[in-house]
Structure 1
Amino acid sequence: MKLKSQIPNAITLLNLFCGCAAIICILDHRFIAAFWFLFAAGWFDFADGLVARLLNVSSEHGKELDSLADMVSFGAVPGMIYYTLLFIGQDAAPASAPDITWSWYAAPGLLVTLFSALRLAKFNLDTRQTENFMGVATPTSTVFATGLMLIYALDPFGWAAWALSPFVLYPAIVAFSYLLISEHPMFSFKIKGMKWEGNETRIIFAVLAIVLLATLQTAAFPFIVGVYLIINLVSPPTASAEA
């Protein structure tokens, strides 16, 4: 087995490590540290495929390993975020959150993890998703959940209570559980060259995302995902990328 062929797999394992570390941080209520581990996991998830293409190495083993890593970083993690936020929301004084134990009130948050597993299993067998996605990709679902976690942890604009509200969390859980396995086409972030034609939707979305980041800063992520979903619902891509 050539060492060169194992470099992308090593990067994939770094993604998996960061996902595991993020779960530990979430359970320990160290949400900022969890964010940075997830940020790193996202970069490693992008880098493994890029490095594989640059080295011209590819294998079914690598693809399966990538899905297993994604199941932790972008499947288990958002479920744990929803579970933890719902659990903390039960406490009368959220600032002094109790240690995490089992709660039926918070358990529905794990639905996102279950539907993420269904999506990843479906994606591995779906030959249609070569250019765009069918349904929401697991990293997109994770960005939304992570955004709620940051809003609670940093309380920008005094919105922390909203991030703990069951009237926000339960609908989000149901919506993303459905969207993860839906057949609705969603555009990917693969840029086709350096021109406007063929990239119109991606460029418009990128501009809107930058505006939201500039104005809302750490509270921007759920709204960015919201804009992404609205654009796809209003004007879905005509053709059907990697999840």
Structure 2
Amino acid sequence: MNIKAQIPNLFTMLNLFCGCAALVMVADYKFDFAFYFVCLGIFFDFFDGFFARKFNVAGPLGVQLDSLADMVTSGVVPGYVMFKMMSDSNCFGIQSYFPYLGFVITLGACYRLAKFNIDERQSVSFIGLPTPANALLITSLPLVADYFHSEVAMDFSYIKWFLIALTLLSAYIMNAEIPLFSLKFKNFSFTKYKLQILFLLVAVFMLFTLRILAVPLLIIIYVLLSIVNNIVNKKASI
């Protein structure tokens, strides 16, 4: 057995384990630990691709394992978090089935992951919001709400329509035909990756100053920066 070939798969399995642990945390209303496990899973997800390229052992098995692990960590977990936010707040009534709309996020993530595997355009950049970024956005919401409403934690009754709109927007933007810049560096050229470096510097500053509040803001900034970058590049090519 080629040990090097199994190292990326090991990291993929660690990603999957973190996704499973995050689901348990959500079920126990430990949204902070769920968020941390999702972050750890995304960390492992980054390094499985890194080692696959470094050891030149990328293959179809690794691609499939990566998507299946991401489906749990970045697909099922955020959908379950949204379901919990909708159902446990009683904003739709006890007998309402509306909270199940939260799993539209899971369906959108599943479709995106399947499309990503066969879309050759996404080898350098992304088309639509990557599922890990979307997972960070959704799983950070309970923590942001708790930050602002610590004395009435998880009271989402006044923003039920916001949650529905965000669920639908989340599923849409993961599959939208919007080019988004990748944060994967093939070398350390500042000229080539100045946008990515600028974003990472802003991200570090915001995370240190705003902490959990920075997470949803950074996802929004990431999308807006990509759109502006697309417009600038389009004008430059004319």
The TM-score with structure 1 as length reference comes to: 0.85
Shift of residue 225 of structure 1? 0.6
SS in 2 for 1:90: coil
Preserved CA contact (<8 Å) 1:192 1:198: no
One-letter amino acid of the structure 1 residue matched with residue 18 of structure 2: C
Structure 2 CA distance for aligned equivalents of residues 25 and 211 of structure 1? 29
More off after superposition, 155-164 vs 50-59: 155-164
Which position in structure 2 is the counterpart of 1:112? 105
Change (3 A) 1:150 1:56: same
SS in 2 for 1:106: helix
Q: Is the aligned partner of 1:187 residue 2:178?
A: no
Which position in structure 2 is the counterpart of 1:222? 216
Which position in structure 1 is the counterpart of 2:114? 121
Which residue, 129, 140, 146 being the options, matches 2:133?
140
Shift of residue 160 of structure 1? 5.4
Summarize the alignment of residues 150-165 of structure 1 with structure 2, pairs less than 5 Å apart.
150-155=143-148, 165=159
SS in 1 for 2:120: coil
Preserved CA contact (<8 Å) 1:12 1:69: yes
- The count of corresponding residues between Structure 1 and Structure 2 is 231
Structure 1 CA distance for aligned equivalents of residues 149 and 52 of structure 2? 39
Q: Is the aligned partner of 1:235 residue 2:229?
A: yes
Shift of residue 111 of structure 1? 0.4
Preserved CA contact (<8 Å) 1:12 1:48: yes
Preserved CA contact (<8 Å) 2:15 2:44: yes
Which position in structure 2 is the counterpart of 1:95? none
| Gap runs ≥5 in structure 2 | none
Change (3 A) 1:69 1:230: same
Preserved CA contact (<8 Å) 1:16 1:72: yes
One-letter amino acid of the structure 2 residue matched with residue 75 of structure 1: G
More off after superposition, 72-81 vs 46-55: 46-55
Change (3 A) 1:206 1:78: same
One-letter amino acid of the structure 2 residue matched with residue 36 of structure 1: Y
Preserved CA contact (<8 Å) 2:112 2:175: yes
Which position in structure 2 is the counterpart of 1:96? none
Shift of residue 45 of structure 1? 0.5
Preserved CA contact (<8 Å) 2:91 2:156: no
Q: Give the fraction of aligned pairs with identical amino acids, expressed as a percent.
A: 35
Which position in structure 2 is the counterpart of 1:67? 67
More off after superposition, 160-169 vs 43-52: 160-169
Change (3 A) 1:4 1:21: same
Superposed CA RMSD in Å reads 2.6
Change (3 A) 1:158 1:186: farther
| Gap runs ≥5 in structure 1 | 93-100
SS in 2 for 1:56: coil
Deviations 1:147-196 (A, max 9, x none): 21221344478895686622332221111111111111001102353343
